[in-house]
Amino acid sequence: GAVVSQHPSWVICKSGTSVKIECRSLDFQATTMFWYRQFPKQSLMLMATSNEGSKATYEQGVEKDKFLINHASLTLSTLTVTSAHPEDSSFYICSAIGAGLAGVEQYFGPGTRLTVT
Amino acid sequence: GENVEQHPSTLSVQEGDSAVIKCTYSDSASNYFPWYKQELGKRPQLIIDIRSNVGEKKDQRIAVTLNKTAKHFSLHITETQPEDSAVYFCAASIDTGFQKLVFGTGTRLLVSP
């Protein structure tokens, strides 16, 4: 149980275009979802926290107009990278906390590798 | 806000040896400390966690110790195996609200046969 999926697993796009990444909780309802970015050989950096039906809370230094987060349902959150540039190339990982699940464990998605050319 | 430091950044051991990774945190309100193992290109996997009301927790070859006074916690892996080779991250969180995790910088563990 407690499976989180992401789609796509990898994507290549041209500079200036927008890319949408989906994060789904498959067998539980996610009250809160988190979006992380991980550059090569670096740690996970939290970008934003989203709760279903409300605006996301962005971490300091993360441009909310560039990284659009929509948590439209208890099983789906999306991250849209708008006007992507090569420096946005990274591994994007979501995680979710489940309503009714025991403990405070975050369940991580498999990640999406974004390459902007 | 919370800041988590992790050492060492790389650790090489021989198969069968023990490995110890140490983390310190800054926010005394933090009370949940998970450890994750991440293989290249994969998602982080929770391997063990500890809460502040416990000083030590063990799960087979893996153990975690916590010193709340000193604000540090450590991961101990005994009888290391080549498949233990990965990047390990510690994290800290407050066990209420949105449970935001702050990650350490990671330790690349290499276990040589």
pLDDT in tens, A37-63: 999 999 999 999 998 888 899 999 999
Q: What is the pLDDT of residue B97?
A: 63
Question: Which residues does chain A have within 8 Å of residue B104's beta carbon, measured at their own beta carbons?
Answer: 43
Specify whether the CB–CB gap between A106 and B99 falls below 8 A: yes
Q: What is the pLDDT of residue B81?
A: 97
The arithmetic mean of pLDDT across residues B78-100, rounded, is 89
Percent of chain B's residues with pLDDT above 70: 96
Q: How many CA atoms lie within 13 A of A26 on its CB side?
A: 11
Alpha helices in chain A (DSSP H): none
Work out the number of other CB atoms within 10 angstroms of the CB of residue B71.
Answer: 16
C-alpha span between A44 and A91 (Å, rounded): 9
Question: Does the pLDDT value for residue A102 go beyond 80?
Answer: no
The arithmetic mean of pLDDT across residues A86-106, rounded, is 84
Q: Which residues, 6 or more positions from B32, have their beta carbon under 8 angstroms from its beta carbon?
A: A104, B49, B50, B51, B52, B92, B93, B94, B95, B99
Number of H helices, E strands in chain A: 0, 11
Q: What is the pLDDT of residue A101?
A: 58
Q: What b/e readout covers A16-31, taking b as 16+ CB neighbours within 10 angstroms?
A: eeebebebbbeebebb
Which of A57, A97, A108 shows the shortest C-beta gap to B43? Answer: A108
Of the candidates A61, A63, A69, A80, the one whose C-alpha atom is nearest the C-alpha of residue A32 is: A69
Q: What digits encode the pLDDT tens for the residues B3-24? A: 999 999 999 999 999 999 999 9
The arithmetic mean of pLDDT across residues B64-81, rounded, is 97
Lowest mean pLDDT among A25-34, A108-117, B103-112: A25-34
Q: Does B57 touch chain A (CB under 8 A)?
A: no
Q: What token pair was written down for A51?
A: 């709760």
Are A42 and B34 in contact (CB < 8 Å)?
Answer: no
Q: What is the pLDDT of residue A99?
A: 63
Give how far Cα B102 sits from Cα of A55, A83, B32, B52, Å. Answer: 21, 28, 11, 16
The arithmetic mean of pLDDT across residues B68-73, rounded, is 95
Q: How far is A14 from chain B (nearest CA, A)?
A: 22
- Chain A with chain B: Cβ pairs closer than 8 A: 46
Q: What digits encode the pLDDT tens for the residues A7-43? A: 999 999 999 999 999 999 998 888 889 999 999 999 9
B98, B102, B107: which to substitute to probe chain A, counting the most A Cβ within 10 Å? Answer: B98
Work out the number of other CB atoms within 10 angstroms of the CB of residue A46.
Answer: 18
Of the candidates A52, A47, A23, A27, the one whose C-alpha atom is nearest the C-alpha of residue A37 is: A47
Q: Does A42 touch chain B (CB under 8 A)?
A: yes
Give how far Cα A65 sits from Cα of A27, A82, B75, Å. Answer: 31, 8, 39
Q: What is the pLDDT of residue B83?
A: 97
